[in-house]
């Protein structure tokens, strides 16, 4: 599957406004100083990831793209642990984009929180 190749195919992404709307309408919400993450069981066999990173939160396009790359990398390497969950990642205004270790540690905590809501 995609986990072995390390790719992030379109099937692993939230792509349509309806997909995002479903997650925003009914989801578990978790936040810390780096991220706000919404998670919703999707009924599929694979997790899907979407971003809602506002320009007002992270002003620099370079910083926003770096943040997305770090989250995508984490998602690709841990997607087997998520199960059938839709995730929407939003950045906090105080997210420390210059410290990828801090971002990965935050994502690791989310992995432990979100995994129980995935179907067995």
Question: pTM, whole model, 2 decimals?
Answer: 0.83
Mean pLDDT along residues 84-108 = 90
CA distance 82 to 27: 15
Cα–Cα distance for residue pair 61/81, rounded to 1 Å: 30
- Residue 115 has a pLDDT of 60
The larger pLDDT score, comparing residue 114 to residue 35, is at: 35
Find residue 113's DSSP bridge partners.
none
pLDDT higher than threshold 50 for residue 120:
no
CA distances from 112 to 18, 25, 80 (A): 27, 23, 13
d(C-alpha 22, C-alpha 42), whole Å: 9
Instruction: Tell me the domains of the chain and their CATH numbers.
Output: 30-114 (3.30.230.10)
Q: What is the pLDDT of residues 30-88, one digit of tens each?
A: 888 899 999 999 888 889 999 999 999 999 999 999 999 999 999 998 888 888 899 99
Show the tokens assigned to 31: 């936040």
Please check the confidence at residue 8 and state whether its pLDDT lies above 80: no
**pLDDT score at 109:** 87
Sequence-distant (≥ 6) Cβ neighbours of residue 4 within 8 angstroms: none
**Residue 116, pLDDT score:** 52
A 10 A CB-CB count for 45 gives: 9
């Amino acid at each position: 599957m995609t986990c072995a190749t390390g790719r992030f195919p379109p099937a692993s992404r939230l792509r349509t406004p309806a997909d995002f709307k479903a997650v925003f309408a009914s989801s578990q919400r978790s936040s810390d100083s780096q991220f706000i993450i919404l998670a919703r069981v999707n009924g599929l066999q694979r997790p899907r990831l979407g971003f809602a990173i506002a320009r007002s939160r992270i002003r620099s396009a370079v910083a926003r793209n770096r943040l997305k790359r770090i989250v995508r990398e984490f998602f690709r390497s841990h997607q087997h642990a998520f199960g059938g969950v839709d995730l929407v990642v939003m950045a906090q205004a105080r997210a420390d984009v210059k410290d990828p270790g801090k971002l990965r540690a935050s994502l690791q905590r989310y992995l432990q929180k979100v995994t129980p809501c995935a179907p067995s």
